[in-house]
Structure 1
């Protein structure tokens, strides 16, 4: 059942027809230009990092209000627009194979803006590791878009898919303090789960430190993991956690995937004498299964617990913006080419004349308007 007030972002198939994609590009260029003129490049990045604002922009240009494809299509349209315009902000990355080209694109953009490229390549890698490893709720990242302006401000929009329920989760970042990986997100859009392995939640500094120390124990970690598995199987062992339902704790971890230690990654952590959580996460080979195994050992053997709070925010979905032009799948109504062209021409004239007072008048008229709830239906 579709929840009222939120976008669930289910997996959709299909594509955007060329006639609509071309208009999306034109409209996006005008809107992005107006935004930079009004708020600067930093102001634009702050808005892109806001899940509600991003969804509203998606609805405005005609993408489906509740589709996982809204992220990939809308960020793709924005990337094309910003990379063609000379506004002082560029975009790297994208979906699937395009995301793997992010480092090279970031280097080119950084050189153009005379910024330190490796700083932003590292940021890109780290935020991806956080949302794929440090924070686990069954979602696998497949989309990563990195926004960078000439002043060095950055934003990231990335998305993961849960293969079991076929729902997407979108992660938003903006100029986060990565020296302290605690509550680093600007916002997370999706359906809140009953739990998530969350090692970047508030009050997790002690747990982060414990993970690093445990990882450096070498063979002992493997033995500790075997002790836990033996308890689960019902064997009598010399150690048993006090006041803990071991099987219930184990099932929670196992529901997120396999629990396997990458021994080579642990060796790197020990050899490099890793001290901070950022470096720890960036170690090659430290993936979700290894972090799950280390966290299980920390909780059941050393009695140091992670947070199990799912940090998703449930922003009210700005469905009203879909009434500007309609939706690709005809929700709330079919997009009319003539109306779309009229809006593009109108905004183009406003941009050329610099007279934006009329937009403020339109805002006053529309901001209190509420759409009929019965018209908010799932798209397919």
Structure 2
């Protein structure tokens, strides 16, 4: 068992409108299918255990880029989409927020028995993980969300979140069952580690030291424990600022999507006909699916795929969102039938953006870029929780880049 990281987030309240919730489930499922098809269930669970990747996923799905609401909404969207297809995907999501978290043991027993897993041990792991984060680490956060994502081979990831009323913040904890040696040997490692093989059988005699170490953790100094965990800390400000984003990465991707045309690249010929705004979203979705862990250190960048429901960095472009879902779903369907050309073309978007980053020099027009996205949002069916985006009083023609 491996504690893979923590994310600190401003505590936000609110709801996810139906028009966004439905799209989040559709795109979340498409991304899940693509990752599992290309990399397998273990890789999908590993990514969910990465605080930076998880936040980036929430951003590309159109949630508020920095808030605690990403955790609840993303896990809820994935659970609605994945569980009905759990037999095909080999992944099942248990638990959730509040009263739904208390359903985790029952859900694990049902899924475990159907798939020949050691259900009591899975339930025990779920309870131990919650106990460690809620009790053994005295950090002032009380858990209110516990999601246990399990595969049909018994591997799992836990994503749970606690609330700190005193400072209006939330803390998200990520656990991963792979890459485990011992609770006493660097138990709170980073996001990516050397694969140590299958999850340990906690009922086996060889696992007795690991069981004892769970109890030993409660005696550890919390400051030492917390200092060894990989952290993601999101700011309290709602607006996306230039300092929140790697502008070189964002600039190279936008330049590819807006300034160059697909006909300029053999790899993108199958995507010809898509507008530059959809290519922009697809490039960021492509990176969520195919990018390496180091690509998710600035999650705010992924909000430039589909904006945010609070209007930051811009309203959610529902027409672009729908086209992104449609293109990705068609690529996945064709790939299942043996034709992977379009899926490869989508993959090449993130590869090409990465290729051009080396020599790319962004200019200093970040605020102009934001304003352009907001001014044009109405063209793409822009929506927020406050209503539909309206045309600006005066349209301005702005250049994205000097390159």
TM-score (norm 2): 0.61
- Cα deviation, 1:63-89, whole Å, max 9, x if unaligned, reads 111111110111111112220222001
Q: Deviations over 1:154-194 (max 9, x none)?
A: 11001111111011111111115486355434669xxxxxx
Q: Distance in 1 between the 2:61 and 2:142 partners?
A: 27
Task: Please tell me whether the aligned partners of residues 8 and 66 of structure 1 are also in contact (alpha carbons under 8 angstroms).
Answer: no
Structure 1 distance, partners of 2:167, 2:142, is: 12
SS at match of 2:325: helix
| Residue of structure 2 aligned with 1:180, choices 174, 179, 183 | 183
In structure 1, the partner of 2:348 is: 361
**Corresponding residue of 1:93:** 95
Task: Tell me the residue number matched to 2:153.
Answer: 151
| 8 Å contact from structure 1 (residues 56, 321) kept in 2 | yes
Equivalent of 1:336 in 317, 333, 350 = 317
8 Å contact kept, 1:172–1:185: no
1:170 alignment partner, SS class: strand
Instruction: Name whichever of 141-150 and 367-376 sits farther off.
Output: 367-376
Preserved contact between residue 7 and residue 172 of structure 2 (Cα < 8 Å): no
Give the drift of 1:366: 3.3
Q: What residue is the counterpart of 1:350 in the other structure?
A: 331
Hey, what's the Cα distance between the residues in 2 that align with 1:107 and 1:335? Answer: 39
1:56 matched residue in structure 2 = 56
Alpha-carbon distance in 2 for matches of 1:120, 1:372:
51
* 4+ aligned runs moved over 6 Å, structure 1: 369-373
Q: CA deviation at 1:99?
A: 0.6
Distance 1:157 1:182, change over 3 A: farther
Distance 1:94 1:164, change over 3 A: same
Of residues 102, 114, 117, the one that matches 2:116 is 114
Q: Does 1:306 align with 2:221?
A: yes
CA shift for structure 1 position 12: 1.1
Aligned counterparts, 1:1-380, within 5 A: 8-85=8-85, 86-175=88-177, 177=180, 180=183, 183-185=186-188, 276-278=212-214, 306=221, 308-309=223-224, 310-311=226-227, 312-315=229-232, 316-354=297-335, 355=340, 356-367=343-354, 368=357
Q: Is the 8 A contact 1:88 1:149 kept in 2?
A: yes
Q: 1: distance between equivalents of 2:74 and 2:118? A: 28
For the residue of structure 1 that corresponds to 2:153, the secondary structure is coil
What CA distance in whole angstroms lies between the structure 1 residues aligned with 2:135 and 2:33? Answer: 36
Distance in structure 2 (CA, Å) of the matches to 1:110 and 1:187: 29
Would you say the 8 A contact 1:10–1:67 is kept in 2?
A: yes
Query: What is the number of equivalent residue pairs in this alignment?
Result: 266
Segment drifting more, 6-15 vs 76-85: 6-15
Contact 1:7 1:65 in 2 (8 A): no
Distance in 2 separating the partners of 1:155 and 1:181: 20
Q: Which moved more, 1:154-163 or 1:359-368?
A: 359-368
Change (3 A) 1:278 1:81: same
Alignment correspondent of 1:198: none
Please report how far the alpha carbon of residue 330 of structure 1 lies from its aligned counterpart in structure 2 after TM superposition. 1.3
Q: 1:186 to 1:83 in 2, by over 3 A?
A: farther
- The CA distance in 2 between the partners of 1:156 and 1:372, in whole Å, is 40
Cα displacement (A) at 1:317: 3.3
Give per-residue Cα distances to partners, 1:320-352, cap 9 Å, x unaligned. Answer: 111111111111111122111111111111111
Q: Which has the larger radius of gyration?
A: 1
Whether contact under 8 Å (1:51, 1:187) holds in the other structure is no
TM-score of the superposed pair, with normalisation by structure 1: 0.64
**CA separation of 1:175 and 1:139: change in aligned 2, threshold 3 A:** same
